[in-house]
Amino acid sequence: MAQNSSFDVTTGVDLQEVDNAINQAQKEIAQRYDFKGSNAAIEFKRAEELIALVAASDFQMRALFDVVQAKLIKRGVPVKNLDVGEIKQAGGDMVRREVKLKTSLDSDTAKKVAAAIKDAKLKKVQASIQGDQVRVTSPSKDDLQEAIALLRKGDFGVELKFGNFR
- Band the pLDDT of 2: cuts 50, 70, 90: low
As a whole number, mean pLDDT of residues 121-149 equals 84
What pLDDT is recorded for position 74?
A: 92
Do 133 and 149 lie in a common domain? yes
Do 23 and 90 lie in a common domain? yes
Do 126 and 65 lie in a common domain? no
What's the domain count of the chain? Answer: 2
Residue 113 pLDDT exceeds 70? yes
Do 111 and 87 lie in a common domain? no
- Band the pLDDT of 111: cuts 50, 70, 90: confident
Q: What is the pLDDT of residues 16-75, one digit of tens each?
A: 888 999 999 989 898 888 888 788 888 888 888 888 988 888 888 888 999 989 998 998
What pLDDT is recorded for position 149?
A: 86
Higher pLDDT, 2 or 154: 154
Please tell me the pTM assigned to this model: 0.78
Do 115 and 159 lie in a common domain? yes
Q: Which residues contact 62 (CB under 8 A, 6 or more apart)?
A: none
**What CA–CA distance (Å, rounded) separates 63 from 57?**
10
Q: What is the pLDDT of residues 70-93, one digit of tens each?
A: 998 998 888 888 888 888 887 778
Q: Return the bridge partners of 10, or none.
A: 161
Contact 81, 100 (CB under 8 A): no
Q: Which residues contact 151 (CB under 8 A, 6 or more apart)?
A: 9, 113, 116, 117, 160, 162
Residue 1 pLDDT exceeds 60? no
Do 90 and 131 lie in a common domain? no
- Domain stop point among 84, 101, 118: 101
Q: What is the pLDDT of residues 95-108, one digit of tens each?
A: 898 888 888 888 88
Do 49 and 117 lie in a common domain? no
Contact 98, 42 (CB under 8 A): no
Do 124 and 94 lie in a common domain? no
Q: 55: domain range?
A: 15-101
Instruction: Give all strands (DSSP E) within 33-110, no chain letters.
Output: 41-45, 50-55, 82-84, 88-89, 95-101
CA angle, 2 then 143 then 147, to 5°: 135
- 24: buried, middle or exposed (CB in 10 Å: 19+, 13-18, 0-12)? middle
**What CA–CA distance (Å, rounded) separates 150 from 157?**
15
